[in-house]
Amino acid sequence: MDKMIHTALNSMHMITQNQSMNAQNLSNLNVPGYRRDLGVEFETAYLETKDGIDAKAFATRTNVGVFSSKPGHINPTGQDLDVAVHGAGFFFVQAKDANGLSRRGDFNVNASGLLVNGANELVLSDGLEPIEIPPYKNISVSENGSIVVEPLGAEPGTTQIVGTIGTTQASGEEIFKDKDGLLKTINGGLPEPDQKAILMQKHLEGSNINAVEEMIVSLDQQRQFELNVKLIKIAKDIDEAATNLMRMPN
């Protein structure tokens, strides 16, 4: 009965974690470029006691950090610093001391004059350096990521290239979502910028989360949790029945 109960408990633990992930997906429904987290899978392993019959069961996690690569819907916004990746590709960003990949394209210029996204992550150039944006009248972003501004106070028609947004299609790389929320390769590194991604200025990609799908998944997880509670009760009843059969008659 121990294995049966521990398997049910591990399953309940898995469901609880996936319910938290499901709630996180729903909370990020309106975050631009957010990639939907996929449920963590668990397996039950048993540690047998040498020369004994007792066993300990524990859960082993498998697909940690896996996310849906399905593209989100791209909407026109008319905002100069809204940039969407059309098709495959990622931006390079820096959050605190860590670099990673992102699809979030709601850009703006912070108080230091650096290009950041809506999460205040620095947007990096094709040389993986922060991009400084001078005061400007107009700004344009080309399909390959080149940023051209008409400097404030300059003669009309004067333009200046201030940098190129670093992008990559990460071809042949296995990308996962790290604990800090950034996308990275499976070994924790980053691919080199290849500038093959196609960018769309004045457009913004939404998250790839479907609210209805998440609600259905949530209901299904609740049913699974209840089934495991019943399984533990059945194991308890079987164990008590077996104990009663082994009792000596009075």
C-alpha–C-alpha distance, residues 194 and 155, integer Å: 34
pTM score: 0.75
- Counting Cβ atoms within 10 Å, is residue 155 exposed (0-12), middle (13-18) or buried (19+)? exposed
Mean pLDDT score of the chain, rounded to an integer? 84
Q: What is the pLDDT of residues 13-55, one digit of tens each?
A: 777 777 777 888 888 889 999 998 886 665 666 666 666 555 5
Percent of the chain with pLDDT strictly greater than 70: 81
C-alpha–C-alpha distance, residues 202 and 75, integer Å: 9
More confident residue, 190 or 64: 190
CA 144 vs CA 17, 52, 112, 159, 168: distances in Å: 40, 66, 25, 17, 11
Q: What is the pLDDT of residues 74-108, one digit of tens each?
A: 999 999 999 999 999 999 999 987 899 999 999 99
| pLDDT at residue 213 greater than cutoff 90 | no
C-alpha–C-alpha distance, residues 125 and 107, integer Å: 13
Among 246, 144, 248, 137, which Cα is nearest to 197's?
144
Q: What is the pLDDT of residues 230-250, one digit of tens each?
A: 777 877 777 667 667 666 565
C-alpha–C-alpha distance, residues 212 and 205, integer Å: 19
Tokens of 163: 């940098």
The domain ranges of the chain are: 2-67+209-246, 74-205
Q: Which residue blocks in the chain are alpha helix, DSSP H? A: 2-27, 211-246
Res 250: pLDDT: 59
C-alpha–C-alpha distance, residues 116 and 130, integer Å: 9
| pLDDT confidence tier of residue 181, bands split at 50, 70 and 90 | confident
- Using H for helix, E for strand and C for coil, what is the string for 196-239? CCEEEECEEECCCCCHHHHHHHHHHHHHHHHHHHHHHHHHHHHH
